[in-house]
Structure 1
Amino acid sequence: MTDTNQLTIGYDDGDVDTNISANPHLNELIDARYSRRQTLFGGVSAAAFAVFGGAALSACSNNDAAALVPSATVTTGGSITTTSGVTVTLTATIGGTHSGDQWTQISGPTVTLTNASTATATFSAPSVAAATPLVFRFSTKDASGALVAADSTVTVNPAVLGFTAVPKSQTDLVTVPAGYEVTVLYRLGDPIASGVAAFANDGTDTNYAQRAGDHHDGMTYFGLSASGSAPDASNNTRGLLALNHENINQSYLHVGGATAPGGIRPESEAQKEIDCHGVSVVEVTRTGSTWAYAPTSSLNRRITPSTPMTFNGPVRGNAWLKTAFSTAGTDGRGTINNCANGAMPWGTYLTNEENWAGYFKRATGDVAARGGAGTKQNVSLARYGIPENRPGNYGWATVVPASASNTLFRRWDITVDPTKPADGTGDFRFEAFQFGWVLEIDPYTAASVPRKRTALGRMNHEGCTAGRMIAGVKPAFYMGDDAQNEYIYKFVSNTPWVAADATPTDRLATGDKYLDAGTLYVAKFAADGSGTWLPLTFGTGPLTAANPTYAFADQADVLMNVRLAADALGATKMDRPEWTAINPANGEMYCTLTNNSSRTVANTDTANPRAYTDPKTTGGQTNGNANGHIIRLRETGDTTEATAFTWDIYAFGSGSDLNATNINLSGLDATNDFSSPDGLWFGIPTNVTGLNTPILWIETDDGAYTDVTNCMLLAAIPGKVGDGTTKTITNTIGGATGTQSTRVGKAPGTTLRRILVGPKECELTGITSTPDGRSLFVNIQHPGENGNPAAISSSWPATQTGAATGSSRPRSATIVITKTDGGVVGI
């Protein structure tokens, strides 16, 4: 028998190590992977991690152990902080064999990653109101298919101005910061139709109804689809520019200057001058980084003072709109002295008739012919600045046309013809009442007939800007009346906003819906920082037939004579209200008050507080509010329907050398001092310049500071109403002295900066951008305005490419500002 040595073994539940091979443990593999450097490059430091894929591991010998260690490594660097709008680059350095590279966003506001499937991806930092982390993950697979990955956090802060301020300049160039470029896009005289000859620029050119007009002003970009067949508000490379042509440099339009004033003007000269006014709609395209206009596009269009149009709203058909051209008072011809503009959310362009009154001739004796000084017609004409015994700008009414049936020149003479019917249907006694309106244009439909929106009142309309459009809320439209001691207005539609109306099939019909019925208001500012919108409604307060100054007959009469109605209500006289702009982030309205030479120490108020003397370096001085200011208001309840508001003054124009206690109240320095703010526009919410902390663009039309610098464009990131303090200042002009309190916003400091200086004798005017904010369109108006063909004082834009001043006649033009790195302008 055999002896057996028996062992007794209890139940062990498998808790016994019987594997004595050298194969590695899983945690050893993980430790090996974690020992490799896995941090982000160009991003914030993040928790690095590595995980295996789902494949099962088979047994192997000791010599096979190294094969299980991942062959790929990822290095992604250290953390960064950036600001909204800046292009951020995420870069991973990968070692070893790898595949399936991919950047993905893990958290934070969603951004679009470019080249996300490569080691180097980019994105534009989103708009934020406060420091906000964004986490990104880079992943790749090693040779065994295992995933190697690492996270990165990029902290984004609110947008800041990203350029060095341009110094003041008196050169004949458009000057921009380093890293920025200027392209001249659309100039006076450029052809916009097939068969129109190239512009000679020597006074021989004709057919301005098919060329770019003069004095480029307010402007809006309207996106087109890639095919050009339909609107596409998001297109950054193809669109339409609608822009105003406010006035003319008369002498440069003719070979040796215009014929001497006082005589009969030649028809050919007057026709040129008339056609140079109005509006352009012109197609523009970007190929690569280069912008150009399309000279033969079927969408190109000129709207001149002779273009047929129609009246809409409460004044349509009024007795004072009847002329020999429109005996029903429902139609008119043209638009004149178009200054600022408005872009409607349903895809139309508003152009606004400003200094139209000066174009009309009114002979001596016309007051008597209209019944004497106290009659309504005479009171109205006087209030709008059309006294008798005046020749009219440029003498167009003196033309004796080749065709006796041509009334395009005679219409500029509003003198009563006693041989014609008293209702005005046989002459043009009421032609002046056809102007001073807001005009709506459909830029996408070249055959459409523009409409004058009479519900918005008749005045020296500078601009008309829509407030924020909120579904179910009645929208408001804000306007300034640009003349000394005139008023600020808003129109509130009767119709609440419907979001679907942003893309209508009939854009002008949508304008009918929102702009033909509503309430027009005028602003009254109180010393305590409050304000009231006073309704300009017939039958309200003094707006009745019993008014002793002017007997209002009905609502059409109130709208036709809105200045007289605002006088009667006691609105606040302002220092030339010009452009209005709406902060898209909070709905606050900004308005430029460009200057006021008639402001005295005795008639200052809290909203128009300064009256002072500003000496010129070239000798002489300017008095009053020589440098202007920018006022802003916040509607009660932050709704466009409000009838009350609060206000303060965002910034006071001033030279940095002027008295800081009583004049330079905003503490401006050499990087941001300015005078006579005029153009005003906020970036749009399709890019960072219109989100959270929007950029406010400020253009100048300077009469007080041009002894030191040409006119300029500034960029600002403003605060909000009430962020400053109250001050009491001492005003002094000559021997007159007095104190005045005012409400001053927080000093702009480095959040206001000069980004562009224009050429000699110009004004900076219209401004708009592509939806992405990477192309900024700006208008340069009347360079060399003080010269003539015999003494050319600017040759811009020829000087922009190296020509000498005096080598060619100057031309108003649209320019495009871009960054050489392709980034958002201003950021």
Structure 2
Amino acid sequence: MTDFTPYHEEQELDNNTSDNVHFRDILEQAITRRSLITKTASGAVALTLASTLTACGSDSDSGTTPPPADPKKLPTKLSFTPVAKNLNDIVTVPEGYEAKVLYALGDSINQSYGAWDDNDIPSGPSFQFRSGDCHDGMSYFGLNTTTGRYDDTKSDHGLLVLNHEYINQTFLHPKGPTKDTSGRRPEDEVIREVNAHGVSIVHVKKDSKTQAVEILKNSIFNRRITASTEMAFAGLAANSSLLSTRFSPSSSKTRGTQNNCGNGYTPWGTYLTAEENFIGYFFRSGADQYERTANENVALGRYGLGLEISYQDTAKTIENKDAQGRTLYKDKTSRYQWETALAGVEDQDMYDRWNASVVGTSATADYRNIPNNFGWIVEIDPFDSRQAPVKRTSLGRFAHEDCRTSRAIEGQNLAFYMGDDSRGEYIYKFVSDTKWDAKDINGGYAAGDKYMNSGKLYVAKFNADGTGQWIELSTSNPAISGYTTYAFADQADVLTHARIAADAVSATKMDRPEWVAVNPNNGEVYVTLTNNSNRGTSYTTDAANPRNYTDPVGSNGKGNVNGHIIRFREDADTTTATTFKWDIYLFGAEAQMLENVNLSGLTDNNDFSSPDGMWFDPRGVLWIQTDDGAYTDVTNCMMLAALPGTMGDGGKATALSGTATQDTFMGAKVTDENLRRFLVGPKDCEITGVTMTPDYKAIFINVQHPGEDSTAYNNATSHWPATQTDPTNTTARPRSATVVITRKDGGVIAG
């Protein structure tokens, strides 16, 4: 998840104003840079052959061919050369590996549409057949070319499915975004932006000898799903009046998916995309405050579309009043002002739908409920373009960062683990009523109906003793049915406003829960908690979120500056368990930080900040990606490979919390053999999205928003991906892109 420019995401990142209690109420006290840390040389010794740039790396590791590796075997230690921290404008990979750009913003996936041209930006409608922007979560689905269906053993052909989270307007348009004299956005720009959101499905082919990967542009499987694509609702909130709009009075369908961040995949072979910071796409009029019920105003505020009071003076002592003596409120502006476009190519309703104000006589006559159409997990069958994607409402509505399925074990219920990426938000799981049956592989949306429509939604509470509870979010829970802040009408209401239900049951406020990963070897669940600048102030430290400290360089961070990764194991290893045990697997930190900040013992070969993307490959190698702003004076964002132990392999620990300390539980300290930096990205980027071919010989990652800090289209801070092959390029527009990484000797990645 990334800071949007010029949009400010504060309205989405910090909306939990509930008074849920914490394990310890430790008030933050003044802490100075000098008292926190004195920079000293790290105890780690960097390897002399830390890394090479892809463009000039050696052709081989040692001049000899390594023995063939069993691709299904988990390595006992990591042996690739760690990549050094750097600020280069390319993707840097280990010696003996090479990175190639596969699919960048604007690239065509249809033979009828030409290549991207920096100097002749393609039309908005053409982006229905081009790569969207800001590549994010991603999964590979093996393709059986005989049956045309999913086959998890196939590496020579596959469907690569990836999210396009948002857009960088500066480089998407010829000269950045524009408005006419009346403040309206040009329709072609809006169409381009809408189509640049969503999901790509691309058919890739890999040469079994050279491992070279290409996109087959003539494939019938290639398609785009955008912020205009029609989608169905399914699950317990489908057909609820809370989802009614002018487009679908019956609440059976909607249009579009956007701000798709993390992802997941089902054991039956479908893709799950997560709708994260969706709320900022909608306009809300200040006059709307008095057209809403008390419940509606509570819900809109809790999800980030609340209104602020308008004042006459800067001291905010004299309120503006209307003719009836009511306080006036400011308009809540939308991120991209899509609602301002006037129709010429599309129908006007395509733009009106971004206005969430009460303008009609009922909810079926306007789009007052349109925010409730987003914030869901969306299921997409990559192999079936005939049926509409499905928003699975039983999994709850919030700023979904990711969704990962438990191990598919015959005869056991499936669980879907999810994080809500905002400061002080929660970790959830949905447990299906139906037990897994392998006969449902390739069952498509029918299998989705079977496993994702009926079940129980839970939220996590972490206790100070290393245990935790899953609390069911249901109207049968008195804490929910009797909640005085918001009156829940039924279970559809609970699911649509899952955040409020979680408030009601006093779930644990976490440090921005982002991606989830499930260890295929033992079922343990890992969640990245990327950072929280308000930990120690608005949110007191607790055992599960124990650190509050200051970044020693500059003013980049305070609170939980560098983030951590928490993990838990269900009691009795059953997905239906309502209790679990937890510890903190890994603390992000600079290698030189104090021991009670760098609790995991990171060195210069593996230190990192702000873990975000994360994925276990089927062997059990954990891939960790960063989206950072605190350590970027030293290094661009990165990806690391890890060989984690098991929950409880460490013990009790004491973390720095302001001028005090906080007790917690942590995993064993890491070593260079079980955690190494595998990749560093180009300037101003986030590294996100990771998947592999089943033979482990090609790994795909996404580079999001390179050059994000640029001030203008012709004043870019990055020129990647052009610099990947031509480091001297100083004119190309930066573009988000998918990268494929292989070994030059054709071997197994991290094997």
Instruction: Report TM bin, short chain.
Output: 0.7 to 0.9
Report the equivalent of 2:611: 677
SS of 1:432's equivalent?
Answer: helix
Shift of 1:180: 0.5
Select 1:293's aligned residue among 215, 226, 229: 215
Deviation at 1:497, TM superposition (A): 0.8
CA contact (8 A) 1:413 1:428 kept: yes
Distance 2:426 2:161 in 1: 27
Aligned counterparts of 1:252 and 1:649: Cα–Cα separation in 2:
39
Asked if residue 667 in structure 1 is aligned to residue 606 in structure 2, the reply is no
SS at match of 1:283: strand
* Stretch moving more, 382-391 or 400-409: 400-409
Matched, 1:581 2:517: yes
Q: Which residue of the partner structure matches residue 364 of structure 1? A: 286
1:511 to 435, 448, 471: 448
CA contact (8 A) 2:587 2:599 kept: yes
Picking from 654, 659, 672, the partner of 1:728 is: 654
1:336, 1:557 → 2: CA distance? 22
Q: Is residue 2:493 matched to residue 1:557?
A: yes
Per-residue Cα deviation, 1:2-34 (whole angstroms, up to 9, x for no partner): xxxxxxxxxxxxxxxxxxxxxxxxxxxxxxxxx
Of 515, 526, 529, the match for 2:463: 526
Task: Give yes or no for the alignment of 1:810 onto 2:734.
Answer: yes
Please say if 1:569 is aligned against 2:505. yes
The answer (yes or no) to whether the contact 1:172–1:805 under 8 Å persists in 2 is no
- Structure 1: which 5+ runs fail to align? 1-119, 130-157, 685-689
Q: Which residue of 2 aligns with 1:116?
A: none
Contact residue 189 and residue 201 of structure 1 kept, 8 A = no
> Structure 1's 126 and 381: CA in aligned 2 closer, same or farther, altered over 3 A?
closer
CA distance in 1, matches of 2:520, 2:79: 21
TM-score, normalization: structure 1?
0.78
Q: Tell whether 2:89 aligns with 1:172.
A: yes
Residues 689-728 of structure 1, C-alpha deviations (whole Å, 9 max, x = no match)? x1xxx21000000011111100000000000111111122
Distance 2:589 2:564 in 1: 9
> 1:804 Cα deviation (Å)?
2.6
Tell me how far 1:260 sits from its aligned partner. 5.2
Q: Is the 8 A contact 1:172 1:795 kept in 2?
A: yes
Percent identity reads 51
Amino acid corresponding to residue 281 of structure 2 in structure 1: Y
Whole-Å separation in 2 of the counterparts to 1:128 and 1:210: 39
Letter in 2 for 1:581: A
- Deviations along 1:782-827, one digit per CA (max 9) or x if unpaired, are 1111113120111111101014353200111111111112111112
- Partner Cα distance (2:651, 2:575) in 1: 26
Matches within 5 A, 1:358-397: 358-371=280-293, 375-388=294-307, 389-397=331-339
- In structure 1, give the amino acid aligned to 2:681: G
Match of 1:212 in 2: 131
User: Which residue does 1:254 correspond to in 2?
Assistant: 173
Q: Structure 2 counterpart of 1:583, which letter?
A: N
In the alignment, structure 1 residue 326 sits paired with structure 2 residue 248 = yes
Counterparts in 2 of 1:714 and 1:122: CA distance versus 1, 3 Å: closer
Aligned length: 656
1:127 Cα offset (Å): 5.6
Aligned residue number for residue 342 of structure 1: 264
Aligned: 1:781 with 2:721 = no
- The residue aligned with 2:200 is 280
Match of 1:430 in 2: 369
Q: Which residue of 1 aligns with 2:745?
A: 821
Q: What is the aligned partner in structure 2 of residue 768 from structure 1?
A: 691
For the residues of structure 2 that align with 1:659 and 1:297, how far apart are their CA atoms? Answer: 54
- 1:475 has 2:447 as partner: no
The one-letter code of the counterpart of 1:452 is K
Match of 1:444 in 2: 383
Aligned to 1:184: 101
Whose relative contact order is higher, 1 or 2, with alpha carbons under 8 Å and at least 6 apart?
A: 2
Larger radius of gyration: 1
Per the normalisation by structure 2, the TM-score is 0.85
Confirm or deny that 1:498 pairs with 2:437: yes
Identify the match of residue 594 of structure 1 among 513, 520, 530. 530
- Amino acid across the alignment from 2:507: A
Query: Could you list the per-position Cα deviations for residues 730-773 of structure 1 after superposition, in whole angstroms to 9, with x for gaps in the alignment?
Result: 322xxxx2221011110011211000000000100100000111
Q: Does 1:162 align with 2:79?
A: yes
Q: Which amino acid aligns with 1:754?
A: R
Question: Does structure 2 retain, via aligned residues, the 8 Å contact 1:244–1:280?
Answer: yes
Query: Which stretch shifts more, 787-796 or 309-318?
Result: 787-796
1:442–1:489 Cα change, 3 Å: same
Match of 1:225 in 2: 144
Q: 1:606 aligns with which of 543, 546, 565?
A: 543
Question: Runs ≥4 in structure 1, deviation > 6 angstroms?
Answer: none
Contact 1:455 1:517 in 2 (8 A): yes
Match of 1:633 among 568, 578, 581: 568
State the 1:547 CA deviation. Answer: 1.8
1:332-377: CA deviation from partner (whole Å, max 9, x where unpaired): 0010100000110101000010000011101111111114xxx111
By how many angstroms is 1:448 displaced?
A: 2.1
Q: Which amino acid aligns with 1:232?
A: D
Alpha-carbon RMSD: 1.7
Letter in 2 for 1:433: N
Distance 1:583 1:321 in 2: 36
Residues 97-150 of structure 1: CA deviation (Å, up to 9, x unaligned): xxxxxxxxxxxxxxxxxxxxxxx9975347668xxxxxxxxxxxxxxxxxxxxx
Q: Are the counterparts in 1 of residues 149 and 442 from structure 2 also a CA contact under 8 Å?
A: no
- Residue type matched to 2:116 in 1? F
Task: Give yes or no for the alignment of 1:124 onto 2:69.
Answer: yes
For 1:558 and 1:466, locate their aligned partners in 2 and report how far apart those are by CA, in whole Å.
Answer: 22
**Does 1:266 pair with 2:190?**
no
Structure 2: where are the runs of 5+ without partners? 1-64, 308-330
Query: 1:194 aligns to what?
Result: 111
Q: Secondary structure at the match of 1:494?
A: strand
Whole-angstrom distance in 1 between the partners of 2:187 and 2:625: 36
**Is the contact made by 1:203 and 1:254 (CA closer than 8 Å) also made in structure 2?**
no
The corresponding residue for 1:711 is 637
CA-CA distance at 1:299 after TM superposition: 0.7
SS at match of 2:159: strand
Deviates more, 1:238-247 or 1:817-826: 817-826
Q: Name the amino acid aligned to 1:308.
A: E
| Correspondence for 1:408 among 322, 343, 350 | 350
**What is the correspondence of 1:57-206 to structure 2 with a 5 Å cutoff?**
123-125=68-70, 159-202=76-119, 204-206=121-123
Q: Which residue of 1 aligns with 2:153?
A: 234
Contact preservation (8 Å) 1:183, 1:291 = no
| Contact 1:468/1:640, CA 8 A, preserved across alignment | no
The secondary structure found in structure 1 opposite 2:375 is coil
Matches of 1:560 and 1:721 in 2, distance apart?
A: 33
Residue 771 of structure 1 aligns with an amino acid whose one-letter code is P
Cα distance in structure 2, aligned partners of 1:713 and 1:730: 26
Counterpart selection for 2:361 from 415, 421, 426: 421
In 1, the alpha carbon distance for the partners of 2:546 and 2:68 equals 46
Does the Cα contact within 8 Å between 1:348 and 1:440 map onto a contact in 2? Answer: yes
